[in-house]
């Protein structure tokens, strides 16, 4: 009994060992063979296909995106400018396609127009150009052939029709801003007494004189505001009732003024 039991035990161990070895060998051989990553290969293939298609269609796509200019939108007050003038100035540059537009050069062309104070030019997708303009605001004539803006900028429009009634300012163009400031100050002082300045000139020496209607007023170079206030007092005290007879007023005195009545020069001391 014991012999059979010992036989069966000793016989079963080699079989179990051999069976385990075979299973291990089959498992090892299975791990050595890897499957191809078909999903990754498919993704790469699709990406390459799309990239090739994009490169091949690039010329057509760029031609479609880079369209000829079909619209020009102009924003401006159009007080002295017209839309036709703006479009005519920009016409040679609008022959370019959308991305080839030279916006800086177009802006410079607009700024060269006499009535344009400031300008901006932008592309407007897909085939348009947006132009924004600010016009000069003339306040007076400058010399014979120019106008001057409220900010003291001198410019020369092609046509002076409609500006002949404006006051005339004169002086070196480098001093235009100062002349404009002086004009505004004198106008503000004269307005309450019903007088309107028609001419203001700054001489090379820095002396100032202005005209109110038919009367020329000389305020010299120094203490201008003080002399202007003296003129206002003199006007109320002596000149208002006889204004039509006054020809010239010279305020280049310490405490008084010289008044020319027709052909006679009379000294009038301010109080």
Alpha carbon 155 to chain centroid, angstroms: 18
Residue with tokens 């209607």: 213
What is the pairing mode between strands 256-261 and 128-135?
unpaired
CB 89 within 8 A of CB 133: no
Q: Could you tell me which residue, 41 or 145, shows the higher pLDDT?
A: 145
CB 256 within 8 A of CB 269: yes
At 91-126, the pLDDT tens digits run 999 999 999 999 999 999 999 999 999 999 999 988
Q: Could you tell me which residue, 126 or 20, shows the higher pLDDT?
A: 126
What is the pairing mode between strands 215-220 and 246-250?
parallel
Q: Which two tokens stand for residue 191?
A: 């307005």
CATH number of 71-135: 3.10.20.310
Vertex 177: Cα angle to 172 and 181 (nearest 5): 120
23, 28, 31, 32: CA torsion to nearest 10: -140
Distance separating alpha carbons of residues 267 and 270, to the nearest angstrom: 10
Q: Which two tokens stand for residue 123?
A: 């592309």
pLDDT at position 267 over 70: no
So where are the chain's domains? 39-66, 71-135, 138-269
DSSP-based three-state secondary structure for 124:
strand
pLDDT at position 256 over 80: yes
What is the pairing mode between strands 154-155 and 146-149?
antiparallel
Domain 138-269 in CATH: superfamily? Cell division protein FtsQ/DivIB (3.40.50.11690)
H-type alpha helices, the chain: 2-32, 38-65, 83-90, 103-111, 176-190, 224-234
Same fold, 71-135 and 138-269: no
At 123-163, the pLDDT tens digits run 998 899 999 999 999 999 999 889 999 889 999 998 888 89
């Amino acid at each position: 009994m014991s012999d059979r039991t010992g036989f069966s035990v000793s016989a079963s161990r080699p079989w179990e060992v051999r069976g385990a070895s075979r299973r291990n060998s089959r498992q090892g051989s299975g791990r050595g063979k890897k499957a191809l990553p078909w999903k990754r290969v498919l993704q790469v293939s699709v990406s390459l296909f799309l990239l090739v298609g994009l490169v091949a269609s690039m010329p057509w796509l760029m031609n479609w995106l880079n369209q000829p200019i079909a619209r020009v939108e102009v924003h401006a007050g159009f007080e002295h400018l017209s839309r036709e003038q703006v479009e005519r100035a920009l016409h040679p540059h609008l022959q370019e396609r959308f991305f080839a537009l030279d916006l800086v050069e177009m802006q410079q062309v607009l700024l060269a127009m006499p009535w344009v104070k400031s300008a901006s030019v932008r592309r407007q997708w897909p085939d348009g150009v947006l132009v924004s303009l600010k016009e000069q605001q003339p306040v007076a004539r400058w010399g014979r052939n120019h106008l001057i803006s409220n900010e003291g900028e001198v410019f020369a429009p092609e046509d002076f029709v409609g500006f002949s009634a404006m006051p005339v300012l004169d002086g070196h163009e480098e001093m235009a801003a100062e002349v404009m400031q002086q004009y505004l100050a004198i106008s503000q002082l004269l307005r309450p007494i019903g007088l309107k300045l028609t001419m203001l000139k700054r001489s090379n020496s820095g002396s100032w004189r202005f005209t109110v209607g038919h009367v020329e007023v000389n305020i010299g170079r120094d203490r201008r505001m003080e002399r202007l206030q003296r003129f206002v007092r003199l006007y109320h005290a002596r000149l208002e009732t006889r204004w039509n007879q006054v020809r010239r007023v010279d305020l280049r005195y310490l405490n008084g003024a010289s008044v020319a009545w027709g052909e006679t020069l009379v000294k009038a001391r301010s109080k």
